[in-house]
Amino acid sequence: MVDTANRQNITVFGHRGARGIYPENTMAGFQYLRDIGVNAVEVDVQNAANRLTVVAHDPYVTMYDGGDVHSQLIRHTTATEIAKLKVGALRPDSDDAIMFPDQACLPNERVPTFAEFCEWASQNPLLLLNVEIKSHAEQDDIYDPPEIIVSDVVDLLEKHNLSQFCVISSFDWRVLFACAARAPAIARGYLTLEQKHGTFMVPNIVDGSDWMAGVTRRDHNGSLPETIAALGGKVWCPYFKDLTAYDLAQAQALGIVVNVWTVNTLSDINVMADMGVDGIISDYPARVQNVLKQRSSV
């Protein structure tokens, strides 16, 4: 039999809004979540030029200047340039277009500022936010320093009274140290990848890794949940293929909420629900909703 104890308590997060269905990190995608009754959203933030905080995942944007086409760091992109960017359509030959063939084409969608997102979120009561701050532990020239971006993000969360509904997460644990210093009451989510599992990403959970900001599991019995608990972490966001039943049970026993990323297939959604995770982050939040509804009717 399937253990149904935690079934009704799983929080469904739309990843970058709803990346499988709508252009990622756009207001159209965020509103879609509200329209289908999903009350949790994961977004990516970083600073453009002059500390304009924007909702965007990749560090580079493609700029068109007459006949010149070039990539440019968002960090060096002005507010005027940001406002002109169109992000509502995938390039037909891109990896994302192959990965998300059902994503809607909305050519007029723009890059939201984080202030715009916060204004929208403040009008949606009880919406849960997972704000992932983009930072690169090994290349400090790509993004603003952790202390700067954390300060700017927290200022906007506090201005819109969203702090209590928010988790600030990052793969770069320097960001989480900065968050603990600036706003210790805001929950911190420790994003982890222990093995590549065929992803393009480099694992960040390696003793001695710059991504762990000097922290080592060796000081905590080799346990990642114990390490996160010792740092005051309230949320652990592991890649779902890394998660074991043992680590999940240990984390939850330590009072840590476990939200897994990024879970898209029916079989994987069911496996995570069977394990009893607290939250599922997905590019297809309606798919997760439907699976959980079907399970609850069994």
Give 239-296 pLDDT, tens digit per residue. Answer: 999 999 999 999 999 999 999 999 999 999 999 999 999 999 999 999 999 999 999 9
Mean pLDDT in residue range 151-169: 98
CATH tag for 7-296 (out of 3.40.50.2300, 3.90.190.20, 3.20.20.190, 3.20.20.300): 3.20.20.190
Mean pLDDT in residue range 74-88: 96
pLDDT tens-digit series, residues 6-24: 445 899 999 999 999 999 9
d(CA 244, CA 240): 9
Contact 33, 17 (CB under 8 A): yes
Q: Helices in the chain by DSSP H: which ranges? A: 27-35, 79-84, 95-99, 114-122, 146-159, 173-182, 224-230, 245-253, 266-275, 285-296
Reduced to 3 states (helix: H, G, I; strand: E, B; else coil), residue 132 is: strand
pLDDT at 134: 98
Q: Would you list the domain boundaries of the chain? A: 7-296
Does the pLDDT at position 4 exceed 80?
no
pLDDT tier, 68 (very low <50, low <70, confident <90, very high otherwise) = confident
Mean pLDDT in residue range 194-213: 94
Give first-to-last CA distance, the chain, whole Å.
11
Find, among 198, 259, 252, 260, the residue nearest to 225 by Cα. Answer: 252
Does the pLDDT at position 160 exceed 50?
yes
Contact 265, 245 (CB under 8 A): no
pLDDT tens-digit series, residues 178-191: 999 999 999 999 99
Does the pLDDT at position 5 exceed 70?
no
pLDDT tier, 93 (very low <50, low <70, confident <90, very high otherwise) = confident
pLDDT at 22: 98
Q: Count the neighbouring beta carbons within 10 Å of the beta carbon of residue 60.
A: 15
Mean pLDDT in residue range 121-147: 96
Contact 192, 236 (CB under 8 A): yes
pLDDT tier, 80 (very low <50, low <70, confident <90, very high otherwise) = very high
**Whole-structure pTM value:** 0.95
According to DSSP, the β-strands at 60-65 and 68-73 are antiparallel
User: What is the chain's mean pLDDT, rounded?
Assistant: 95
pLDDT tens-digit series, residues 204-240: 999 899 999 999 999 999 999 999 999 999 999 999 9
Contact 295, 273 (CB under 8 A): yes
Q: CA neighbours within 13 Å on the CB side: how many for 191? A: 26
pLDDT at 1: 25
Residue found under tokens 């936010």: 129
Which DSSP string corresponds to 203-221? P--STT-GGGTT--GGGGT
For 66: left if phi > 0, alpha if psi spans -120 to 50, otherwise beta; the answer is left
